[in-house]
Chain A
Amino acid sequence: MLKAYKYFSIFYVNLRSKTAHMPDVLSRAPVMLLRLWILERLYSTAYLSAGAKNFGGLSVAQIIWIVMIVQCLTISTRPRVSAIIDEEVKSGALAYTINRPYSYILFHYFGFFGRMIPGFLTIVIAGIVSALLVSGAISVTITAFFGAILLLLGGFTLDFFIRLSLGLLAFWLEDTTAFSDLYDKSVAIVGGWFFPLALFPKTVQTVCEYLPFSQLGYGAARLFVNFDGALFFRYLTLQAAWIIIMIVVALMLYRKGMRNVSIQGG
């Protein structure tokens, strides 16, 4: 019970701290409005040129809502866990945190959720308003709503463990920003950040679905706008598999990295 309270306190402290920096998150809202507007213009013109109302089973409004949800996820996970851990490892601050009476990984996990929740709730409200202004409302079922929430929670967990692993690479590399950038941009390119996977050719779509980048926010967003039971279980299985893989990778890197710390004397 005491253990749970300890991690709840970490969560709460980070939540309060993030609440104090809401203007930072809100400053991203006009950018989102502009992005959604540009994308709406692009897809409307493209659909008009192709003489289609639906493409890959998606209307223009559904694409805009998908992009909005994926962008909300990427905005709310700032500051990046990888950058925090990279800095801790390089500055030596890690030597102090690993001696404290808590799990280093769980400390960051609960801190991540504490920072993410107020940021996500704020930006998602701004995102919904932007999407309504740009493309109008779409119909969403209750099943789609709760299914998307479940996949989003999994997506945040997956994002945390991938970034944790990237940050822990700082034990061996002098700078991990190249990997973080590669990860961020991969999410943008094949994670539905501006181009939904449903518009990709079938083969590319299948390959991208098996990658972790589409299991962060795209899966949830895709089901939110157009729920499909079979697709939901497919995405849930893929996401769970990637979460397990990334937990194992992060634990391995952490244990190996800790051995380096004791060799160097912290």
Chain B
Amino acid sequence: MSLFRVARQLSVACSVIAANLRTALEYRVSFILKIVSAFIIDIGFFFVWYIFYEQFPVVNNWRFSDTALLLSVAWMGLGLSGLFAFGAYRLSCNITEGKIDSYLLLPQPILLHLAISQTDVSCVGPILSSSLMFWASGYASWLSIPIFIVVSIMSALITTNFIIITQSLAFFIGNFEETADVLKHMLMFSIPYPPTIWGPMKFITMTIIPSFFIATVPMGLIKNFDIISLMLFIGFWLFSTWLARSVFYRGLRSYESGNLVTLKI
């Protein structure tokens, strides 16, 4: 793929996302309410963890500052993923209802266009709260901030890949929305806990529900940067990207068009 083509696709993606944000801003009250409520929820959740560690200061060598850092990276990743690629979260619904037809005619890559076609503005809340959590963790420094930004973006990409894989299963299994939603909630629920409590079940967080790569590895990179963990992180990101593309495009071959008439501007 030429550099020019990549730049052109990025430019189109930016235009679509900007248009999505302008559309969301049309309903100003709702826009602000969604962001504020998401922010309050995250801070409330963070406060509960603070109380937990007040009662139990050390859990298997894991402290509040570790949870704060873990949550900050994961929430930033989830926030960025939902803000820029919320279309991926609606994939199974669009597949079941046969709403992908209009995207098949577009000159841009279908998967990219589907993913960026929608924006969840409430995800601005987690992005703001995760910045506060990062500061509260005590790990924020001039050196760690750039690492935090880069690993959060990669965490967002892995999260999006996971969502694409689970949502694309709707191509093969009918009415998969509920199960895809369950898998998403399983991922979100498995993130905030100390990785040291998982024991032999840790393999679940490295495979089916990849919270290890979405939260634990990037968090470790901020705490103690090492090249092996970075390679592992990049390797898993590349693997998940390949898997997401393969599952989606293989499924697309068996996609049955709907008879809905839709207008895309």
Contacts and interface: CB of A to CB of B under 8 A. Distances in A.
Interface of A: 24, 27-28, 30-31, 34-35, 37-38, 41-42, 45-47, 49-50, 55, 173-175, 177-179, 181-182, 185-186, 188-190, 195, 199-201, 204
Interface of A (DSSP majority class) = helix
A37 B204 CA distance: 13
25 contacts: A27-B178, A27-B179, A28-B182, A38-B189, A38-B193, A38-B197, A45-B196, A45-B197, A46-B52, A46-B59, A173-B29, A178-B30, A178-B34, A178-B36, A178-B38, A178-B122, A181-B122, A182-B41, A188-B45, A189-B41, A189-B44, A190-B48, A195-B48, A195-B51, A201-B54
A189 B38 CA distance: 13
Interface string B197-209: 1110100000000
Nearest to A189: B44
A190 B48 CA distance: 8
Interface string B56-93: 10111000000000000000000000000000000000
B189 A35 contact: yes
B254 interface: no
Nearest to B198: A41
B27 A189 contact: no
Nearest to A29: B182
B-side interface size class: 35 or more
Contacts of B198: 41
A182 B40 contact: yes
Contact of B51 (A35, A49, A201): A201
Given A42-B193, A186-B44, A201-B51, A174 B182 contact: no
A67 to B, nearest CB: 12
Contact of B45 (A175, A181, A185): A185
B37 A34 contact: no
A34 B186 contact: yes
A189 B178 contact: no
B10 interface: no
